[in-house]
Structure 1
Amino acid sequence: MLALVGFIAGQQASQWSSKESGERREAVLSSLVKYLGPEARSFIHYEEKDWAKEDYSGGCPVNVMAPGLLTYYHPSLRKPCGR
């Protein structure tokens, strides 16, 4: 069994999070077809998860920031949290 996993990060993640799941799915499949060929539409299962809405992790399960994230989220990173 093979699996292909991908992540949408940064500003694009914020933009795509507000779209309908069908629109996201079609955009992902279109990109896969563009880069991998028409066979990419012949898949067994498609699953997606918005890690920013995950109660316990609060974000993606990786700890590497993509280029531009510090600049994009700078205002939020400077706000005090807690008491």
Structure 2
Amino acid sequence: MRKETVSTLLTYISFLVLVIGFAFMLRENTRLTVVNHRLEAELGNVSNELVESQNEAWGYKWQLHQINNDYFGDDK
């Protein structure tokens, strides 16, 4: 094979490797972005549930305090 043919062939192969590598990086980045958005949404749901549970617990504590004040009077 002539020197020009080998050089052209190597150029095409390196360009093909570059394009395939770039396509793989784009695919992996897209996959990671989707997974990240799913995890953030799941974390947001858990966070909202925790806030609701905490508010409910404070409500029960307040009600218990009111019941204790009604039965035993305010000692403070």
Short-chain TM bin: under 0.3
What is the TM-score with the length of structure 1 in the denominator?
0.24
The structure whose RCO (Cα within 8 Å, separation 6+) is larger is 1
Between structures 1 and 2, the one with greater helix share: 2
**Whose Rg is larger?**
2
What is the TM-score with the length of structure 2 in the denominator?
0.27
